[in-house]
Structure 1
Amino acid sequence: MDSAKKMTQIAYKAMDDKKAEDIRIIEIGEVSTIADYFIIANGTNSSQVQALVDGVDEALSREGFEPKRVEGHRSSSWVLMDYGDIVVHVFSKEDRLFYDLERIWRDGKTLSIEDLQ
Protein backbone atom coordinates (compact mmCIF):
# COMPACT_ATOMS: atom_id res chain seq x y z
CA MET A 1 0.00 0.00 0.00
CA ASP A 2 1.34 3.42 -0.85
CA SER A 3 2.04 5.95 1.90
CA ALA A 4 -0.71 8.37 0.80
CA LYS A 5 -3.38 5.69 1.20
CA LYS A 6 -1.92 4.59 4.52
CA MET A 7 -1.86 8.17 5.84
CA THR A 8 -5.42 8.71 4.65
CA GLN A 9 -6.62 5.58 6.45
CA ILE A 10 -4.83 6.56 9.66
CA ALA A 11 -6.19 10.13 9.58
CA TYR A 12 -9.71 8.91 8.81
CA LYS A 13 -9.67 6.43 11.70
CA ALA A 14 -8.29 9.05 14.10
CA MET A 15 -11.09 11.46 13.20
CA ASP A 16 -13.72 8.74 13.32
CA ASP A 17 -12.48 7.70 16.79
CA LYS A 18 -12.99 11.31 17.96
CA LYS A 19 -16.52 11.40 16.49
CA ALA A 20 -15.83 13.81 13.62
CA GLU A 21 -18.87 14.71 11.57
CA ASP A 22 -19.21 13.93 7.87
CA ILE A 23 -15.66 12.74 7.09
CA ARG A 24 -15.02 13.01 3.34
CA ILE A 25 -12.10 11.71 1.32
CA ILE A 26 -11.52 13.35 -2.04
CA GLU A 27 -8.94 11.93 -4.40
CA ILE A 28 -7.43 14.97 -6.11
CA GLY A 29 -4.22 13.51 -7.57
CA GLU A 30 -5.71 13.40 -11.07
CA VAL A 31 -6.79 17.05 -11.02
CA SER A 32 -4.06 18.74 -8.97
CA THR A 33 -0.43 18.47 -7.97
CA ILE A 34 -1.18 19.76 -4.45
CA ALA A 35 -1.73 16.29 -2.97
CA ASP A 36 -3.22 12.89 -3.69
CA TYR A 37 -6.04 13.15 -1.14
CA PHE A 38 -7.98 15.72 0.82
CA ILE A 39 -9.67 14.59 4.00
CA ILE A 40 -12.37 16.97 5.18
CA ALA A 41 -14.32 16.76 8.43
CA ASN A 42 -15.89 19.00 11.00
CA GLY A 43 -16.35 19.14 14.71
CA THR A 44 -19.33 20.39 16.65
CA ASN A 45 -17.37 23.00 18.63
CA SER A 46 -13.85 24.46 18.92
CA SER A 47 -12.82 21.90 21.55
CA GLN A 48 -13.75 19.03 19.27
CA VAL A 49 -12.00 20.66 16.30
CA GLN A 50 -8.81 20.77 18.38
CA ALA A 51 -9.33 17.19 19.60
CA LEU A 52 -9.66 16.05 15.98
CA VAL A 53 -6.46 17.87 15.00
CA ASP A 54 -4.60 16.42 18.00
CA GLY A 55 -5.91 12.93 17.24
CA VAL A 56 -4.76 13.05 13.62
CA ASP A 57 -1.37 14.47 14.62
CA GLU A 58 -0.80 11.81 17.27
CA ALA A 59 -1.93 8.90 15.09
CA LEU A 60 0.18 9.93 12.09
CA SER A 61 3.20 10.77 14.26
CA ARG A 62 3.08 7.27 15.79
CA GLU A 63 3.46 5.89 12.28
CA GLY A 64 6.35 8.22 11.44
CA PHE A 65 4.43 10.82 9.42
CA GLU A 66 5.01 14.45 10.37
CA PRO A 67 3.19 17.44 8.88
CA LYS A 68 5.08 19.70 6.51
CA ARG A 69 2.90 22.59 7.65
CA VAL A 70 -0.07 23.27 9.89
CA GLU A 71 -2.21 26.36 9.37
CA GLY A 72 -4.63 27.47 12.05
CA HIS A 73 -4.35 27.25 15.82
CA ARG A 74 -6.21 26.28 18.97
CA SER A 75 -8.93 28.89 18.58
CA SER A 76 -9.28 28.36 14.84
CA SER A 77 -12.43 27.15 13.22
CA TRP A 78 -10.42 25.73 10.31
CA VAL A 79 -7.14 23.88 10.69
CA LEU A 80 -5.23 22.66 7.65
CA MET A 81 -2.63 19.92 8.15
CA ASP A 82 -0.37 19.42 5.12
CA TYR A 83 1.39 16.05 5.01
CA GLY A 84 2.52 16.39 1.41
CA ASP A 85 0.59 13.52 -0.15
CA ILE A 86 -2.52 14.24 1.91
CA VAL A 87 -4.05 17.42 3.26
CA VAL A 88 -6.37 17.21 6.26
CA HIS A 89 -8.97 19.96 6.74
CA VAL A 90 -10.76 20.15 10.08
CA PHE A 91 -13.52 22.75 10.29
CA SER A 92 -16.19 24.07 12.54
CA LYS A 93 -19.56 23.22 11.04
CA GLU A 94 -20.21 26.85 10.06
CA ASP A 95 -16.87 27.36 8.34
CA ARG A 96 -17.17 24.08 6.48
CA LEU A 97 -20.48 25.21 5.03
CA PHE A 98 -19.06 28.64 4.21
CA TYR A 99 -15.88 27.46 2.42
CA ASP A 100 -17.54 24.40 0.83
CA LEU A 101 -14.33 22.65 -0.27
CA GLU A 102 -16.33 19.72 -1.57
CA ARG A 103 -17.85 22.01 -4.20
CA ILE A 104 -14.53 23.61 -5.07
CA TRP A 105 -12.88 20.18 -5.52
CA ARG A 106 -15.85 18.50 -7.19
CA ASP A 107 -13.59 17.44 -10.08
CA GLY A 108 -11.89 15.11 -7.63
CA LYS A 109 -13.26 11.67 -6.88
CA THR A 110 -15.11 11.22 -3.58
CA LEU A 111 -14.07 7.95 -1.95
CA SER A 112 -15.23 5.89 0.98
CA ILE A 113 -12.73 4.45 3.43
CA GLU A 114 -13.47 1.06 1.91
CA ASP A 115 -12.22 2.29 -1.47
CA LEU A 116 -8.74 2.60 0.05
CA GLN A 117 -8.52 -1.05 1.13
Structure 2
Amino acid sequence: MTILEIAQKSAAIAEDKKAGNVVILDIHGLSVIADYFVVCHGNSGTQVQAITSELKKQMAEAGIDIKGVEGYDEARWVLMDLGDVIVHIFHKDEREYYNIERIWGDASVIQFQ
Protein backbone atom coordinates (compact mmCIF):
# COMPACT_ATOMS: atom_id res chain seq x y z
CA MET A 1 0.00 0.00 0.00
CA THR A 2 1.41 3.42 -0.95
CA ILE A 3 1.63 6.33 1.46
CA LEU A 4 -1.20 8.10 -0.37
CA GLU A 5 -3.34 4.94 -0.16
CA ILE A 6 -2.72 4.81 3.60
CA ALA A 7 -3.87 8.44 3.89
CA GLN A 8 -6.94 7.72 1.76
CA LYS A 9 -7.78 4.58 3.75
CA SER A 10 -7.45 6.53 7.01
CA ALA A 11 -9.77 9.24 5.69
CA ALA A 12 -12.33 6.69 4.51
CA ILE A 13 -12.30 4.89 7.87
CA ALA A 14 -12.82 8.18 9.72
CA GLU A 15 -15.64 9.13 7.38
CA ASP A 16 -17.29 5.73 7.90
CA LYS A 17 -17.30 6.47 11.64
CA LYS A 18 -19.13 9.74 10.87
CA ALA A 19 -16.13 12.00 11.50
CA GLY A 20 -16.78 15.59 10.50
CA ASN A 21 -15.08 17.42 7.62
CA VAL A 22 -12.45 14.79 6.76
CA VAL A 23 -9.55 16.36 4.84
CA ILE A 24 -6.25 15.02 3.49
CA LEU A 25 -3.48 17.61 3.32
CA ASP A 26 -0.44 16.95 1.12
CA ILE A 27 2.49 18.41 3.05
CA HIS A 28 5.26 17.06 0.78
CA GLY A 29 8.02 19.64 0.69
CA LEU A 30 6.44 21.67 3.51
CA SER A 31 7.56 19.46 6.40
CA VAL A 32 9.96 16.65 7.13
CA ILE A 33 7.66 15.06 9.71
CA ALA A 34 5.24 13.47 7.23
CA ASP A 35 3.94 13.51 3.66
CA TYR A 36 0.24 13.68 4.49
CA PHE A 37 -2.01 14.87 7.30
CA VAL A 38 -5.50 13.44 7.65
CA VAL A 39 -7.62 15.87 9.65
CA CYS A 40 -11.10 15.23 11.02
CA HIS A 41 -13.23 15.77 14.11
CA GLY A 42 -15.78 14.13 16.32
CA ASN A 43 -18.63 15.92 18.04
CA SER A 44 -17.91 14.35 21.44
CA GLY A 45 -15.07 12.70 23.31
CA THR A 46 -16.77 9.36 22.84
CA GLN A 47 -16.89 9.84 19.07
CA VAL A 48 -13.23 10.94 18.97
CA GLN A 49 -12.29 7.73 20.79
CA ALA A 50 -14.51 5.60 18.54
CA ILE A 51 -12.86 7.04 15.40
CA THR A 52 -9.42 6.43 16.91
CA SER A 53 -10.24 2.87 17.96
CA GLU A 54 -11.61 1.98 14.52
CA LEU A 55 -8.54 3.44 12.82
CA LYS A 56 -6.24 1.45 15.10
CA LYS A 57 -8.19 -1.75 14.47
CA GLN A 58 -8.38 -1.46 10.69
CA MET A 59 -4.79 -0.26 10.26
CA ALA A 60 -3.56 -3.23 12.31
CA GLU A 61 -5.70 -5.60 10.20
CA ALA A 62 -4.18 -4.08 7.04
CA GLY A 63 -0.66 -4.61 8.42
CA ILE A 64 0.05 -0.88 8.69
CA ASP A 65 2.42 -0.08 11.54
CA ILE A 66 1.08 2.43 14.06
CA LYS A 67 4.09 4.24 15.49
CA GLY A 68 2.15 5.93 18.28
CA VAL A 69 -1.12 7.40 19.48
CA GLU A 70 -1.27 10.46 21.74
CA GLY A 71 -4.26 12.11 23.40
CA TYR A 72 -6.69 9.19 23.40
CA ASP A 73 -7.68 9.44 27.08
CA GLU A 74 -8.40 13.17 26.92
CA ALA A 75 -10.16 12.81 23.53
CA ARG A 76 -9.65 16.47 22.65
CA TRP A 77 -6.92 16.12 20.01
CA VAL A 78 -5.72 12.63 19.16
CA LEU A 79 -2.61 12.29 17.04
CA MET A 80 -2.00 8.94 15.34
CA ASP A 81 1.43 8.44 13.78
CA LEU A 82 1.40 6.08 10.79
CA GLY A 83 4.89 7.07 9.67
CA ASP A 84 4.56 9.32 6.64
CA VAL A 85 0.87 9.84 7.44
CA ILE A 86 -0.24 11.67 10.58
CA VAL A 87 -3.92 11.48 11.50
CA HIS A 88 -5.33 14.34 13.60
CA ILE A 89 -8.66 13.50 15.25
CA PHE A 90 -9.97 16.58 16.99
CA HIS A 91 -12.91 17.23 19.24
CA LYS A 92 -14.99 19.73 17.25
CA ASP A 93 -14.22 22.61 19.64
CA GLU A 94 -10.46 22.02 19.45
CA ARG A 95 -10.51 21.77 15.67
CA GLU A 96 -12.12 25.18 15.42
CA TYR A 97 -9.64 26.62 17.92
CA TYR A 98 -6.43 25.20 16.40
CA ASN A 99 -7.57 25.51 12.77
CA ILE A 100 -4.78 23.26 11.50
CA GLU A 101 -5.89 23.72 7.89
CA ARG A 102 -5.08 27.44 8.16
CA ILE A 103 -1.68 26.73 9.74
CA TRP A 104 -0.85 24.40 6.83
CA GLY A 105 -2.53 26.68 4.29
CA ASP A 106 0.18 26.04 1.67
CA ALA A 107 -0.68 22.32 1.60
CA SER A 108 -2.72 20.88 -1.25
CA VAL A 109 -6.01 19.20 -0.37
CA ILE A 110 -6.23 15.63 -1.72
CA GLN A 111 -9.57 14.22 -2.78
CA PHE A 112 -10.46 10.71 -1.63
CA GLN A 113 -13.06 7.97 -2.22
Q: What whole-Å deviation, never above 9, does each CA across 1:31-81 have from its counterpart, x for those lacking one?
A: 111111000000010000000001111111111112112111223210000
Percent sequence identity is 36
* Runs (5+) with no aligned partner, structure 2: none
CA distance in 2, matches of 1:73, 1:60: 16
* Runs (5+) with no aligned partner, structure 1: none
2:108 corresponds to which residue?
109
Q: What RMSD, in angstroms, separates the aligned Cα atoms of the two structures?
A: 1.2
> Is residue 2:109 matched to residue 1:95?
no
- Runs of 4+ residues over 3 Å off in structure 1: none
How many residues align? The count is 113
> Is residue 2:32 matched to residue 1:33?
yes
Q: What is the TM-score with the length of structure 2 in the denominator? A: 0.94
Q: What is the TM-score with the length of structure 1 in the denominator? A: 0.91
Report if aligned partners of 2:41, 2:95 keep a CA contact under 8 Å in 1: yes
2:70 corresponds to which residue?
71
